[in-house]
Amino acid sequence: MPIVVLVSGEGTNLQAIIDAAGSDRLPVEIRAVISNRPGANGLRRAQQAGIPTQVIDHTHYLNREAFDTALQALIDQYRPALVVLAGFMRILTTALVTHYRGRLINIHPSLLPAFPGLNTHRRALEAGVKEHGASVHFVTNEVDGGPVIIQVRVPIQDGDDPHRLATRVLKREHDLYTMAIRWYAQGRLKLVDDVVCFDGRVLSKPIDFDQALEMGDNP
């Protein structure tokens, strides 16, 4: 299945996708990696893997609408079946989200709907919650508010600070994201009328990653 991945920074989730695709654990062809930041390390990761890269610098556009129009045109050149946001730090316009409706996914470092937006690890610790984690969701016009597909839970430990917690969550994100992308590539996962359908049935709640592992699904 052809995909395009959008990144803004380090690209560790991108690397997990590259590694899974290269080892035949993920039936996708990464047709391009696109970044809005010329210095994003994710671009280097893609180039080292022989994947085409493109930079579309948002600072060169007058407004969000103009940037997203150009971004959409660039993505469409690669004809992806799925657009994967992997640390793409831009709020997308309604027009772009609508264009890719049902084939645009994102990973977010919290157990949505808890802690949408930024600084999720610090906010989770300040709230005193017992567990944190990450979520993969379809993208809609509500920031970090689209239907959640799958989540992984990470217990908060004594002595955790935002960096330590973020490190543990990130390690779980890699397998979480590749699992969701593989399901989509296999045709098991769809968005129908803003509802997540998995294996032909509507999900009443997000899939738990560890339970999926116990049932035999591997990332």
Domain of 195: which CATH number?
3.40.50.170
pLDDT category at 34 given cuts 50, 70, 90 is very high
Q: Are residues 92 and 198 in the same domain?
A: no
Instruction: Go through the chain and tell me how many residues it has.
Output: 219
Mean pLDDT calculated for residue range 115-128: 97
Q: Are residues 118 and 77 in the same domain?
A: no
User: Does the active-site annotation cover 121?
Assistant: no
pLDDT at 14: 98
Cβ–Cβ under 8 Å, residues 176 and 152 = yes
Domain that holds residue 33: 1-100
Residue 128 has pLDDT above 90, yes or no: yes
pLDDT at 215: 85
Mean pLDDT calculated for residue range 99-122: 97
Q: Are residues 56 and 115 in the same domain?
A: no
DSSP 3-state assignment of 182?
A: helix
pLDDT at 131: 97
CA-nearest of 121, 186, 185, 187 to 156 is 121
Q: Are residues 73 and 174 in the same domain?
A: no
**Count of domains in the chain?**
2
Mean pLDDT calculated for residue range 74-85: 98
Cβ–Cβ under 8 Å, residues 37 and 57 = yes
Residue 9 has pLDDT above 90, yes or no: yes
Q: Is residue 41 in some structural domain? A: yes
Distance CA 202, CA 41 (A): 38
Q: Is residue 51 in some structural domain? A: yes
DSSP 3-state assignment of 181?
A: helix
DSSP conformation class of 60 = G
pLDDT at 60: 97
pLDDT at 20: 97
pLDDT at 179: 97
Mean pLDDT calculated for residue range 100-105: 97
Q: Are residues 115 and 214 in the same domain?
A: yes
Residue 218 has pLDDT above 80, yes or no: no
Amino acid at 189: L
Query: Which structure tokens are listed for 133?
Result: 């984690």
DSSP conformation class of 156 = -
Q: Is residue 2 in some structural domain? A: yes
Distance CA 201, CA 195 (A): 10
CA-nearest of 152, 165, 170 to 217 is 152
Q: Is residue 141 in some structural domain? A: no
Please state the pTM of the whole predicted model.
Answer: 0.96
Q: Are residues 94 and 115 in the same domain?
A: no
| Residue appearing with tokens 């994201």 | 177
Cα atoms in the Cβ-side hemisphere of radius 13 Å centred on 21: 22
Residue 219 has pLDDT above 80, yes or no: no
Q: Are residues 94 and 76 in the same domain?
A: yes
Q: Are residues 159 and 200 in the same domain?
A: yes
pLDDT at 118: 94
70 conformational bin, left if phi > 0, alpha if psi -120 to 50, beta if neither: alpha
pLDDT at 216: 83
Work out the burial of residue 173: count CB atoms within 10 Å of its CB; fewer than 13 is exposed, 13-18 middle, 19 or more buried.
Answer: buried
* Catalytic choice (58, 99, 108, 137): 108
**Predicted confidence (pLDDT) per residue in 136-152, tens digit:** 999 999 889 999 999 99
Q: Are residues 52 and 1 in the same domain?
A: yes
Q: Are residues 117 and 217 in the same domain?
A: yes
